[in-house]
Amino acid sequence: MKPIRVLIQAPDPVKRAGIAAMLRSAEQIDILTEGERASADVLVIAEHTVGAAQLDGVRRLRATSATAPGPRCVVVTDRFDERDTLFAVQCGVVSILPGAHCTAGRLAMTVVGAVKGHSMLPRGLQSALLRQLDGLRRDVLEPNGLTLSGLGLRELDTIRLVADGFRTDEIATKLSCSEGTVKNVLRGAMQRLGLTNRTHVVAYAIRSGALA
């Protein structure tokens, strides 16, 4: 397995050394210096309190990364405001570990999991994230014809009919629009999301959870 390059951000050298010692228990993890930060795969933030300022720092660091879309972030903290959960996810945080219960094995497992796309959040933060996503959908996205999947409501209606096997003319009839409009809606979704054909659009909608 390719070594996982980890950059540690901590308020003092002692805390940083402690986190580094915990992570060195895993052979596949390499600890980076500040000068190597642009090549990090995972950023570990270890602070007693993590709030908007620290999360914005994560966002800025990811923006200067040499790898797109930037390192995934694991937060180790004793104090985290659940109201910041959605913002944390937007900044690149994938896991949040309570500092009081953070063992070397658990931290290493979380860092390795972050590279594989896995996430770990305390149950209370999971609930907070779902509430915030629901509020975003209800108050911001849907009033503007958008969904959490990145597809507009009209696009989603069209794609659902494509998935059900209807032809372009049948979709136009059901949605009370022209065939040209149906084609433009699908073409717009494909261009915006980098999709190649109708099958790809349907697959994207299913994977994103927009279509059950």
Residue 24 contacts residue 111 (beta carbons within 8 Å): no
CA distance 202 to 211: 8
Q: What domains can you pick out in the chain, each with its CATH number? A: 4-135 (3.40.50.2300), 145-207 (1.10.10.10)
What's at 90, amino acid-wise? Q
Q: What's the pLDDT at 151?
A: 84
SS (H, E, C) the chain: CCCEEEEEECCCHHHHHHHHHHHCCCCCEEECCHHHHHHCCEEEEECCEECHHHHHHHHHHHHCCCCCCCCEEEEEECEECHHHHHHHHHHCEEEEEEHHHCCHHHHHHHHHHHHCCCCECCHHHHHHHHHHHHHHHHHHHHHHCECCCCCEHHHHHHHHHHHCCCCHHHHHHHHCCCHHHHHHHHHHHHHHHCCCCHHHHHHHHHHCCCCC
Which stretches in the chain have pLDDT values below 70? 1, 68, 212
The Cα angle at residue 36 between residues 21 and 75, in degrees rounded to 5: 50
